[in-house]
Structure 1
Amino acid sequence: MKIKFTIAAVVLTTVGLWAQKPIYTKANLESARVYYDGAELTQNAEVKLPKGMSEVVITNISNELKENTIKVGSTDEVTVMSVQFSNAYIEEYDNVNNSPLTKPLRDSIAAVELELEKITNSINADLKTIQLLENSSDSYDKESSLKISSVAEMAKWVDYYGQKYKNLQNGIYLKKKEKEIIEAKWNDLKSKLSLGSDKSEKISQGKLIVQIMNAQEGKVPFKVNYATSRAQWIPSYDLRIEKVGEPVKMMYKAQVVQTSGIDWRNVKLSLTSGNINQNNTMPNWYNWFIQYEPLVNNDKTDEIVISTGYGSSRRRGSGAVSRINASELRVGGVADVSSMIEGKAAGVTVTNVSAPQVSYEERKSIAEYTNIHESELNVTFDIAIPYSILSNGKRHSVDLNNFELNGDYKYYSAPKLDKNAYLVTEISDYSKHNLLPGEANVIYDGMNIGKTRLSTENTEEKLRLNIGKDPRISLERTLISDKSGTKTLSSKKEQNFVYEITIKNNKKETIAIQVEDQFPISTDNSIEVILSEISDAEVDQEKGLLKWNLKLKAGETKKLRFGYQIRYNKDRMLIGI
């Protein structure tokens, strides 16, 4: 059966214009395509319609959707005249007490309330009877000589009173227990009265009110498609390393979360890189004006040259010079080692780490059901097996792919920032696996040692994966005070800095290690930076980096020395050195 789609503009049609009662049908979720900032949902429904005009209320639609993305499709015999979205249809257009959506539930509540009232009345009647019996007993005690003429009559009356009292008390006990059961049933039904509170399945309050012109009576299928911002996914990875030198086993995963108001149960799931709200507007040229910067009165303000690692900026202050906080320093091109993982690289015990619940081999078979499609704009992962993701805001892990990556293992250190050596592996052919930026769990020698991050958006030829720090490699960076200091020349001031880096390999095998440090960069012609000593380092003048690639045998120690001079006008001040 051919289904045609209608892109429905949201209209302000008043339901009161339609004489007949609306026809209700529930939409079932068929598929979900999830983006970084939203999802595209496709649902289907079927309802029996008469010939002519009808108003159909499609329930179980997302609570929040982008109204300009709504598309409603049906057969050629059906004309969709208008579509309106609402997440409060009952309150706006219908009598809440007589709503077809809640009437069966309200009827059940009314029946239970009738049972509750009957058993309450029965308990009260028994209590009244007991009260009458007790009053009769009191009257007998006061006038026993007048009412009872023989011992036999008294015994008969006592037997009757005792048996009746016992039966009433037992009956009240049983009725109270039955009342508790009825009250629990009543409370359960009342909790389900609000749409979507049924614990067995999440039903949203979102609805589409569709005005239909039907050519013939019969069952009519509908397909609904729209976008919602109440879902997202982010890439994540598991990196498994058995031992140094072996390939990295990578499990490519997705963390999916949604609060659309609908529980996604056994749906076809697709994950697409990129955003659903992309700007598709072509750029326009505007006139490009240049002009002089307004003159500044130098008597009131001083221009300050600020050196912050890789670059300098100019700030204007009013006479006073303040220091730059260390947190403002940024080192371009170097991994932010201070934010890397706390874990185990070799022989370090880690506590409070839970092992994965699914083995790598089992998860590998799950990932085989994923088809990957790469276009010019994004990457899409189509998952062949149905997935269930509840609308509870919790992350759901979805396995996408797995493979092995061959890399070159080495240690990396930046002792100016962190006196630790980090084991890393550099991978050359990573682009063919469609890797996206994301967080990665590092599992070394069967133990989860922490987290790192894959930065695949860079333009570097190699992808550097951080495995963790190794405490058996010692590093020390010290300023050589007798070779450092400040000199004043005729019109210049010269500052000398000389550092020594000591690296010791306490491991039982030879290691390869890359050591990096930096020197300041000047963007002002009056400030000169001169490297005085580099110990055969590779120099990157553009980034201000020094790099040493070393091999250290077991127990070996090496020392590196480098230094630089800064010359600048003696009547000025430098910040950031």
Structure 2
Amino acid sequence: MKTSILFLLSVLFVISVNAQSPTLYNASLEAVTVYRTSAELNHSIKVNLPAGSSDIIIGNIANAVDQNSIQLSAPVNVTILSTTFVKDYLKSENKSAAYIKVEDSLNTARKELNTIQNKKSVDENLLILLDKNQTVGGVNSGLSVAELIKMADYYKAKQLELRNSIYGYQVLEAKQQTKINKLQQQLNELSADKSGTRGQLLLQIITKEATTAVFNLSYLSPSASWIPFYDLRAENTSTPLKIVYKANVVQYTGIDWKKVKLSLSTGSPSQSGTAPLLSAWFLRFGSPNSYRTQSMQNTVQTMESRAPMKTAAMDVVSDPDRNLATPNNNALNTSFDLDIPYDILSNSKAHSVTLNTYNQPVNYKYYSVPKLENDAFLLAEITNYEKLNLLPGDANIIFENTYVGKSVVNPNATTDTLNLSMGRDKKIVIKREKVAEQSGTKLLGSTKKQTFTYEIRLRNGKNEAVNLLLKDQYPVSTDKAIEVELISADGAIINTETGVLTWKLTLKPGITEKVRISYSVKYPKNQRIENL
């Protein structure tokens, strides 16, 4: 009997041990590499393992994981039998000190609102009771006229008091509700984790003996990204262009990145590494291809002649005070290793990171097409820009210590130079007008001849001479019945195939210069040219 009891107790003990929940160990985030549309997170986990088989949970990992990318390394004396990724919907909320402060204020405001609403409700009930009881007196009550008047005055005063009190509470209620709404909005902004969940790994492990082990875990998560943007600063056209290379990092992995070693990579870990193969190219009838018109930047990059240029410096110089990332180049991509640890919260907000600052030698020139825009655009032309590791992105333009607008950096050019638009310079005034006395229409038998003359006036309001590339155009005929004659181009370089006229001008300060173009178009008078 005693032996049976001992055997039963031993069985119950084994069952109770096996029924225990897996032990939870939170992973420590050590380093993150952010790609353009994903991130690689690297964790370390210290665990205490008993001899034999055991189940453990690794918590505090990202809420979305590419399970094919999970890599978990362990000591040689530990065998990992299986790994399963799940989401932790029961995690405790991580509240910052600022969040707790606003949350307390919100709770207090809600209590004050409840007090106001209760006081208003009491007065409203008293008013209802007063309305019901004001018929207690009457002709058969035995009250004298004086007593009835006294009672009427009482009801009147009491009703007025209650109604004023209720109105006052309504005003306080509205103000308090506004306060609550603002506190709630602020609380939403301070929420440290808007993703709602974190991830967990369920592990089945076997060891020959009890041990303390350190696991290293890495995986890809789609819940992070970064985009480049720039500040383009120029004091004047005689100084180098300062390019401040920045990145906006966004993450919503469910875990805050605290003091992590951060790297930004231009690569894409999910991009296929298989080389493409050509297949047969079979032609068939169909609709013709449509062609896009070139942008101004492409037009500038391929223009046949260039204005005289200034060279501000000889070599690329990094600003050591702002060089906060170390670029590492390989044959396929570039990564920027941030030199200081970073904190980036899981709140889907852009976190600005400065990667580098370059004092870049550039050739400045002005460019204007007054037929389309009556402004002069400052362009910065960069050679050998490949070494800057630039990516396409938006840019803020600061010229002569003044913010002048936004531009775009597009380094994916096929030319050996990169043109950056530095915005409009309002100190260069340009106006294009039709000269009426030298324009008109004549009928010559069965034909009509139209003459057009335009004058472009340019004034340099700056304190220094500037080089300006000015462009205009005259029409080009694609029909033998339409005859176009360029009468005057005022010294422009003429492209007869495209009709583009180019002037390379040096505008002296305070001087107004003029340029004229004149052309004629002759065609049958019974026809009409829509786009003339």
Q: Which residue of 2 aligns with 1:314?
A: none
Matched, 1:405 2:370: no
Aligned CA distance change for structure 1 residues 55 and 569 (closer, same or farther; 3 Å): farther
- Counterpart of 1:418 in 2: which secondary structure? coil
The residue identity in structure 1 corresponding to 2:419 is: R
Q: Which residue of 1 aligns with 2:456?
A: 501
1:249-328 to structure 2, matched below 5 A, reads 249-293=242-286
CA contact (8 A) 1:309 1:521 kept: no
CA contact (8 A) 1:309 1:519 kept: no
How far 1:56 sits from its partner (Å)? 2.0
Q: What is the RMSD computed on CA atoms of the aligned residues?
A: 3.9
Q: Which residue of 2 aligns with 1:72?
A: 72
* C-alpha distance in 2 between matches for 1:59 and 1:35: 24
Matched, 1:459 2:424: no
Q: Which residue of 1 aligns with 2:310?
A: none
* C-alpha distance in 1 between matches for 2:69 and 2:525: 65
Scaled by the length of structure 1, what TM-score is found? 0.60
Match of 1:554 among 509, 512, 516: 509
How far 1:384 sits from its partner (Å)? 2.6
Unaligned runs of 5+ in 2: 1-17, 93-189, 302-317
Matched, 1:395 2:360: no
- Counterpart of 1:419 in 2: which secondary structure? coil
Matched-pair identity in %: 36
CA contact (8 A) 2:482 2:521 kept: yes
Q: Which residue of 1 aligns with 2:144?
A: none
Q: Which residue of 1 aligns with 2:469?
A: 514
* C-alpha distance in 1 between matches for 2:281 and 2:527: 36
The residue identity in structure 2 corresponding to 1:475 is: I
CA contact (8 A) 1:201 1:263 kept: no
How far 1:58 sits from its partner (Å)? 1.2
Q: Which residue of 2 aligns with 1:145?
A: none
Match of 2:328 among 370, 373, 395: 373
Aligned CA distance change for structure 1 residues 307 and 331 (closer, same or farther; 3 Å): farther
CA contact (8 A) 1:42 1:226 kept: yes
Aligned CA distance change for structure 1 residues 88 and 265 (closer, same or farther; 3 Å): closer
Deviation by residue 1:276-300 (Cα, 9 ceiling, x = unmatched): 4323343243332223459xxxxxx
1:190-209 to structure 2, matched below 5 A, reads 204-209=197-202
Aligned CA distance change for structure 1 residues 274 and 574 (closer, same or farther; 3 Å): farther
* C-alpha distance in 1 between matches for 2:224 and 2:497: 42
How far 1:551 sits from its partner (Å)? 0.6
How far 1:438 sits from its partner (Å)? 2.2
* C-alpha distance in 2 between matches for 1:487 and 1:268: 79
* C-alpha distance in 1 between matches for 2:492 and 2:330: 43
* C-alpha distance in 1 between matches for 2:443 and 2:81: 86
- Counterpart of 1:333 in 2: which secondary structure? helix
Unaligned runs of 5+ in 1: 1-17, 91-100, 103-196, 295-302, 311-329, 337-362
Match of 1:470 among 409, 421, 425: 425
Q: Which residue of 2 aligns with 1:234?
A: 227
- Counterpart of 2:68 in 1: which secondary structure? helix
* C-alpha distance in 2 between matches for 1:279 and 1:572: 58
Deviation by residue 1:137-163 (Cα, 9 ceiling, x = unmatched): xxxxxxxxxxxxxxxxxxxxxxxxxxx
CA contact (8 A) 2:451 2:519 kept: yes
Match of 1:248 among 233, 237, 241: 241
How far 1:201 sits from its partner (Å)? 12
Q: Which residue of 1 aligns with 2:384?
A: 429
Q: Which residue of 2 aligns with 1:49?
A: 49
* C-alpha distance in 2 between matches for 1:262 and 1:233: 17
Matched, 1:333 2:298: yes
- Counterpart of 2:386 in 1: which secondary structure? helix
The residue identity in structure 2 corresponding to 1:59 is: G
CA contact (8 A) 1:309 1:331 kept: no
The residue identity in structure 2 corresponding to 1:411 is: Y
Q: Which residue of 1 aligns with 2:27?
A: 27
Deviation by residue 1:489-542 (Cα, 9 ceiling, x = unmatched): 98x9887654332212233432211112345677x6779785624333334567
How far 1:455 sits from its partner (Å)? 2.0
* C-alpha distance in 1 between matches for 2:193 and 2:293: 58
* C-alpha distance in 2 between matches for 1:88 and 1:572: 76
CA contact (8 A) 2:193 2:254 kept: no
The residue identity in structure 2 corresponding to 1:413 is: S
How far 1:268 sits from its partner (Å)? 0.7
- Counterpart of 2:516 in 1: which secondary structure? strand
Q: Which residue of 2 aligns with 1:37?
A: 37
* C-alpha distance in 2 between matches for 1:33 and 1:474: 49
CA contact (8 A) 2:242 2:358 kept: yes
CA contact (8 A) 1:483 1:498 kept: yes
Deviation by residue 1:379-403 (Cα, 9 ceiling, x = unmatched): 1111232111111122222122222
CA contact (8 A) 2:485 2:521 kept: no
- Counterpart of 1:431 in 2: which secondary structure? helix
How far 1:203 sits from its partner (Å)? 8.8
Deviation by residue 1:148-183 (Cα, 9 ceiling, x = unmatched): xxxxxxxxxxxxxxxxxxxxxxxxxxxxxxxxxxxx
Q: How many residues align?
A: 400
* C-alpha distance in 2 between matches for 1:382 and 1:565: 62
- Counterpart of 2:353 in 1: which secondary structure? strand
Q: Which residue of 2 aligns with 1:58?
A: 58
How far 1:23 sits from its partner (Å)? 1.9
198-207 vs 540-549, greater mean Cα deviation: 198-207
* C-alpha distance in 2 between matches for 1:540 and 1:207: 67
401-410 vs 379-388, greater mean Cα deviation: 401-410
* C-alpha distance in 2 between matches for 1:290 and 1:369: 53
* C-alpha distance in 2 between matches for 1:563 and 1:394: 56
- Counterpart of 2:374 in 1: which secondary structure? strand
Matched, 1:220 2:213: yes
CA contact (8 A) 1:20 1:54 kept: no
